[in-house]
Structure 1
């Protein structure tokens, strides 16, 4: 299962810089300029590599440093389009890849959650259903470009979410005591230093710039939580689940922050 999780991480060596082409961004604290969808970023080199990769933060492109495609870039580049480079292929390829990439990225994010759910012993009662839905989602990612652009992603996401909610209930039931329900809560800038959030559901919570220093987040459901600039210094996220690398990359932390095995410590965190 760990091997599958690795495959759901971006591999720029196998991608044609699709995130730098397909996605739009606006001049802000995260991006130094405006770029419409389907237009290559000015920093994208001819070899599909970023010309300022080592200086993204200092050059005003923090948004790029916290992004991960969950492996969708290499799937679209090498599978959907068979290794055909949008620069040298048919003129319409860049547009078609830009349409397909966001769809596959969403499917790969769902694959991440489903794969992780299958590693959780407490979710064993729904493992068979999770496995079937994972196989179906993987099959969808291998459909043609035309089929992918016509796919009803919100409907499929809702079907997956039903099982993920059940998984969350099963996993959090193993945490003793009262478990906080902060789904979609507005916790922007909240003072949660040392807070006991064991087994809490923080699904979709806005934790932007929240102070979670030393907070206990063991066994918490963090799916969709907005952790931009949240301070996780010395926080304990052991056993926290449905936490993705992009979420963690957007937060602040330290060497004392304890993390689940599914993610890695961001390189920009202070030692």
Structure 2
């Protein structure tokens, strides 16, 4: 999944310009969409990268474009930035929003293809990958919702097959588990798709092979939890949670620096 990892040095600071920020616990300022963050330097690097949390920007530290930024910068626009070609700025920012979603779908399909190979999954993976190499017009015309609708059952089938042999698994799809007390909970193989786990206490919980696609883990306590083999877990979900050196997670993800 190397192409699905952010390479900020090959991007144009798109995540610092394209989206809007609202002053909150995650961002210290209000910033409208399309306006560069005041911390963005001339070389597209962040001027407060090392102290973002201390400066009131924890939201920046958990964001991950999954490689969409450098794809837009270097492939879609051939290395010509929005500063060098201001007339492309608005379009580029809109393309970035689409590419970010396509790369998220690619992340899930790549994992599904590796863990439970199937012809229809491989075909969907090729289709989405091909779309990410389109020109701006074709990218902006992409019906991302339709793509998600097509891919969703493929991922669900993959999840079911991979968790089939786990006895006693729980189904918490879309459950409201905000602030839930789940310390040391037996959640191996659980279906937690789209579950709201904001601020939940999952310390020491057994989340091996749990399906976490779309689960909201913001400020969830996963200290000492075992997420080995968790399905469809992303780097930004991991970074949004609160873990420690004892937290275990799938290979291919990295321990967030703020843990």
Summarize deviations over 1:81-116 as a string: whole Å, max 9, x none. Answer: 111111011x32111111100100000011011111
Partner of 1:254: 244
1:172 aligned to 2:163? yes
Deviations for 1:169-225, whole angstroms, at most 9, x for unmatched residues?
A: 1111021x2211101100000000010001101001000110001100011000000
TM-score w.r.t. the length of structure 1 is: 0.94
Aligned counterpart, 1:132: 123
Corresponding residue of 1:15: 11
Which residue pairs with 2:95 in the alignment? 100
Match of 1:45 among 34, 41, 45: 41
1:194 — aligned with what? 184
Q: 1:68 aligns with which of 50, 64, 76?
A: 64
Gap runs ≥5 in structure 1: none
* Corresponding position: 1:59 with 2:27: no
Tell me the residue number matched to 2:73.
77
Corresponding residue of 2:219? 229
**Equivalent residues, number:** 259
The aligned residue for residue 229 of structure 2 is 239
CA RMSD of aligned residues (A): 0.8
**Post-superposition offset of 1:261:** 0.7
CA distance in 1, matches of 2:223, 2:21: 29
Is there any run of 5+ residues in structure 2 with no aligned partner, and where? none
Secondary structure of the residue aligned to 2:25 is: coil
CA distance in 2, matches of 1:253, 1:161: 29
